[in-house]
Amino acid sequence: MVLVTPLTKLLGSVPLVQGGMQWVGVPSLAAAVSEAGALGILTALTQPSPDALREAIRETRRLTSKPFGVNITLLPTINPPDYEGYARAAIEEGVRIFETAGNAPGALIKFFKSQGCIVIHKCTTIRHAKSAEKHGVDVLSIDGFECAGHPGEEDVGGLVLLARAAQELKIPYIASGGIADARGVAGVLALGACGANMGAPGQRLVHPIHQNIKNKIVESKEQDTVHIFRTLHNTARVFKNKVSMEVVSIERKPGGAKFEDVRELVSGLRGKKGYELGDPDYGIWSASQSMGVINDIPTCQDLVGRIEREVEDIIGGLSKVVVKAKL
């Protein structure tokens, strides 16, 4: 048995997409996910320049002949990136699948669609999903409040958001946020999604991340995340550690905080160093409530194969819930 949905028909893969993750979406992970039959995604801004992204795309191609995508996220940054340069570099290198996310993505989506690309747009409200639908994206990625990183400011959980998506959206959508195992995937398929976007499972797999961080994800529970930047309207769900708790306490001071008050603590480069050193307390790193569901560190191949098998079992098992009345 194989799982067939509008996403698998579009991408020719199993209905699993690796989420774009800053510092994590590198060639070794994207290639391993694509090799396992799902869609691997390189994160553009993880590369220091458009030329470095070109090299990352070439490296990914050396590791896999299967399709993979590139994520471009438009959110406030300490150093404004050359988004257009990254987009052009990826197109010129022959990438044809993009995940976009963040604020005001219209121009970027228009550019990718003018180049004949498949665009998956991630958003956290039905309002934004409908707007991206009008911009011509192919698939929406509906990101519930459980997610790692930026859940938006409206705090609607995946269960309700996906039910709303089923009511409102005309194009296929995948589910993001809090999905880490086959039950999560089967659940979102039941909610009308055509696949699942998974981030935290990627964090436990990626090679450049220190083993200590992988172990920390396995040890951690669904309570071990916290929101930073609530008061700056750029909310991010990150791992609960000394640095993130310090950011929250600065934000709660009377009179509130400006970004400059937390800039040094939250810098992405500091978070990257923590991944490399294997020190979960070194900086800020994105984490999902789905850490509570994660209990091991499998290979991509094993994880994708296991999810596929178990989703089929769960969906098959659900038929037992339907009990026909005796006549």
- Site residues (vs ligand NAD, CB under 6 A): 20-22, 43, 45, 71, 73, 75-78, 149, 229, 232, 234, 236, 259, 266-268, 286
Q: Which is nearer to ligand NAD, 33 or 45 (CB)?
A: 45
To ligand NAD, the closest distance from the beta carbon of 249 in angstroms equals: 17
The nearer residue to ligand NAD, 186 or 238, going by C-beta atoms, is 238
- One DSSP character per residue, 254-322 reads TT---HHHHHHHH-HHHHHHHHHHT-TTSS--B--GGGGG------HHHHHHHHHHHHHHHHHHHGGG-
Q: Nearest distance from residue 326's CB to ligand NAD, in Å? A: 53
Instruction: Kindly provide the residue ranges of all beta strands, DSSP E only, lying in 103-243, ordered along the sequence.
Output: 118-123, 139-143, 173-176, 196-198, 225-228, 236-239
- State which residue, 183 or 273, has the beta carbon closest to ligand NAD: 273
Which CB sits closer to ligand NAD, 149 or 195?
A: 149
Least distance to ligand NAD from the beta carbon of 4, Å?
Answer: 28
| Residue 155 C-beta-side C-alpha neighbours within 13 Å | 3
Q: How many helices (H) and strands (E) does the chain have?
A: 14, 10
CA distance 56 to 210: 20
CB-side exposure of 229: number of CA atoms within 13 Å?
22
CB of 313 to ligand NAD, least distance (A): 31
Closest contact distance (angstroms) between CB of 317 and ligand NAD is 34
- Cβ of residue 75: shortest distance to ligand NAD, in angstroms? 3
Closer to ligand NAD at the Cβ: 30 or 189?
30
Cα separation, 15 vs 198, in Å, equals 11
- Whether residue 284 contacts residue 244, with contact meaning beta carbons closer than 8 Å, is answered with yes
Specify the length of the chain in residues: 327
Structure tokens at 235: 């909310």
Closest residue to ligand NAD in the complex (CB): 268
Q: How far is the CB of 72 from ligand NAD (least distance, A)?
A: 8
Best CA proximity match to 121, nearest among 112, 189, 184: 112
Answer yes or no: are the C-beta atoms of 36 and 72 closer than 8 Å.
no
Using the minimum distance from each CB to ligand NAD, give the nearer residue, 38 or 45.
45
Which amino acid belongs to residue 211?
A: Q
The residue (of 76 and 317) whose beta carbon lies closer to ligand NAD is 76
